[in-house]
């Protein structure tokens, strides 16, 4: 089977079988690309029925391989364990609290195959802390996935470059792994190891791309919700580790600003004026698909508006500039 494997999917599990790992695996084997992929589940010493479930599934599913760690090796350590035995030319790290959709493997790997400068690729999702997030209104996973597929149908060929991809689902080529290296296990159980890897990939000359015609449902918090009260402490410690590693202060652009940047990028021939706002020479009318994506991202922005009066005023100035720009294309948000 190894000679036929094109893509290796690595999942780290730690308890939460019924709400996370089982639905995740079911979606992969339902929406997989024939037999040209393998799934490697690294179980980080689960105390529930996860190990028994995985052993039983391996007996009936030849594309599944498992590693059973005797301790919780964390996000980076668990993924590294899986990467070390992976056979694919393309590698996908996938959180156990995700549900994938049709053609997700092909969508992510095709982007990587087209351009060797693209080092990492990620999908859009309902729950993510950057511009990979799209607006969904559903309550159940099924409702949210349906909305995600509507987004996909309006986003064929859509993609944009970003400074940071969230590692709830990220794809890379093997040559990128060979050059950039494994995940940094100094980050322990998790948090900021994805920031670190993205920074290392960019420093190595690679681009990070979001492919908008791939949607992956993300429950959110499933990988870390059992850390409990230690979450804030771990995040603070790992942020300090990252800043020490790069001798810098980590300054993240707020997701609403990043959403604005994506919409500005949609409009094509965009230049920047001295105030940093977008100005453009309007071209053809916006397509229905592009109008849908703009409207969706505006709803995300509206859900993230600043609470403070001064910040809200400053942000509305830039938001207003975008609305004026869109009106020049004959598209009014109001």
pLDDT in tens, 156-206: 999 999 999 999 999 999 999 999 999 989 887 768 899 999 999 999 999
- H/E stretch holding 212 reads strand 207-218
Position 283 scores a pLDDT of: 47
Distance of alpha carbon 202 from alpha carbon 182, whole angstroms: 15
Collapsed DSSP state (helix, strand, coil) of residue 256? helix
Identify the sign of the CA torsion 231, 232, 233, 234: positive
Parse the chain into domains and list their residue ranges.
Answer: 2-246, 255-328
Distance of alpha carbon 165 from alpha carbon 163, whole angstroms: 7
Residue 110 has pLDDT above 60, yes or no: yes
Position 278 scores a pLDDT of: 44
> Residues 194-220: what's their mean pLDDT?
96
Residue 269 has pLDDT above 50, yes or no: no
Q: Which residues on neighbouring strands pair with residue 13, listed in sequence order?
A: 43
Cβ-based burial of 274 (10 A; exposed 0-12, middle 13-18, buried ≥19): exposed
**For the domain bounded by 2-246, which CATH number is listed?**
3.90.550.10
């Amino acid at each position: 089977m190894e000679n036929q494997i094109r893509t290796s999917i690595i999942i780290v599990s730690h308890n939460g079988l019924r709400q996370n790992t089982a639905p995740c695996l079911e979606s992969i084997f339902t929406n997989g690309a024939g037999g040209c992929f393998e799934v490697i589940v690294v179980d980080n010493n689960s105390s529930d029925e996860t190990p028994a479930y995985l052993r039983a599934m391996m007996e009936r599913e030849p594309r599944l391989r498992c590693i059973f760690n005797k301790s919780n090796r964390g996000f980076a350590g668990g993924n590294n364990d899986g990467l070390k035995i992976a056979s694919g030319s393309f590698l996908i790290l996938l959180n156990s609290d995700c549900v994938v959709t049709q053609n997700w493997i092909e969508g992510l790997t095709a982007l990587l195959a087209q351009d060797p400068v693209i080092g990492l690729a990620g999908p859009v999702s309902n729950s993510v802390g950057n511009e990979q997030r799209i607006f969904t209104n559903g309550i159940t996973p099924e409702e949210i996935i349906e909305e995600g597929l509507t987004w996909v149908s309006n986003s064929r060929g859509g993609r944009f470059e970003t400074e940071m991809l969230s590692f709830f689902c990220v794809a890379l080529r093997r040559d990128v792994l060979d050059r950039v290296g494994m995940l940094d296990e100094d980050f322990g159980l998790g948090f900021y190891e994805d920031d670190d890897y993205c920074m290392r990939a960019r420093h190595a000359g690679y681009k990070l791309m979001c492919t908008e015609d791939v949607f992956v449902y993300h429950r959110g918090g499933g990988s870390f919700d059992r850390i409990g009260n230690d979450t804030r402490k771990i995040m603070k410690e790992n942020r300090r580790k990252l800043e020490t590693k790069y001798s810098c202060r980590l300054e993240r652009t707020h997701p609403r600003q990043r959403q604005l940047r994506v919409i500005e990028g949609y409009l094509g021939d965009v230049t920047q004026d001295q105030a940093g706002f977008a100005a453009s020479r309007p071209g053809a009318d916006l397509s229905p698909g592009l109008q849908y994506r703009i409207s969706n991202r505006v709803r995300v922005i509206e859900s993230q508006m600043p609470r403070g009066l001064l910040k809200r005023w400053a942000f509305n100035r830039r938001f207003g500039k975008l609305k004026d720009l869109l009106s020049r294309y004959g598209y009014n948000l109001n």
